[in-house]
Amino acid sequence: MEKNREPINILINRTKARFCERNLQIFFQEKRDPVTGQRLAVKEPVTLFIDNAGTFNEYPLECIECVEVQLGNPSWSFLCDNRIKISIPFRIFLLVKFSDQGSYELILLPDDIGVKVTTLYDLSEKQISRSLYQTMQRVGNTFVYTIIIPVDRFTGFVPVGQDFTVIARLTNMTWNAEIGEVCFCGTGSPPAPATRVDLSIFYDLLVQIAVEQELTVMGEVE
């Protein structure tokens, strides 16, 4: 059967501006003044206390073997015609190893907070960083990372008004975990023996501002 070539209209997203930040810490807690307890709006690793293994919690955590992050769909909004707000939900899977001849356990955050894990600060309260305004907060069974980016931080041209879409991507995840001392900081009453872990998770962030454009191409139809 012969095919006829004729104009075909397709819709594409054309990038007008972009913002890129490498090695951005998305899992963090807000640093406090050690004397006054004042919140300092500076990032630091999240302090976790993971219950030790064993009937009497006698086996401390030895190491974290693997960290995986499940990312949700980003959402965005345009604030006062000069800032882009992006929120990304995520959950964390930790494969941890204890000192009792190498037993392993899978920990899911935030679900296991209060079950196998406690935290230094209440993560249901917004943890804030103001170098470029960012927050990290537990919301139900997920964490939500939010960043607010002034439009003048974008490279390229940001269209006037709101006739555009925002595409946000997190790539190249890295993490760091420092294993600390054992303390009576775990779950239960009185608190069970637990091992301190200071955990950070980083990503490269790419944000694109795109407009919908109609493109005409020649195509074949039967």
Tens of pLDDT along 124-159?
Answer: 999 999 989 999 999 999 999 999 999 999 999 887
DSSP state of 207: E
Interatomic CA distance for residues 65 and 156, integer angstroms: 41
Q: What is the mean pLDDT of residues 171-178?
A: 98
Q: Give mean pLDDT, residues 169-174.
A: 98
Residues 158, 16: contact at Cβ < 8 Å? Answer: yes
Rounded to an integer, what is the distance from CA 199 to the centroid of its chain? 12
Q: Which residue, 91, 94, 122, 112, is CA-closest to 29?
A: 122
Identify whether the C-beta of residue 91 lies closer than 8 Å to the C-beta of residue 108: yes
Total domains, the chain: 1
For residue 13, pLDDT beyond 80? no
Structure tokens at 131: 């170098």
In whole angstroms, what is the distance from residue 61 CA to residue 49 CA?
10
Q: What domain range is 126 assigned to?
A: 4-221
Q: Number of helices (H) and strands (E) in the chain: give both, helices first.
A: 0, 15
Task: Give the pLDDT confidence score for residue 45 in this predicted structure.
Answer: 99
CB 62 within 8 A of CB 98: yes
pLDDT tens, residue by residue, 64-88: 999 999 999 999 999 887 899 999 9
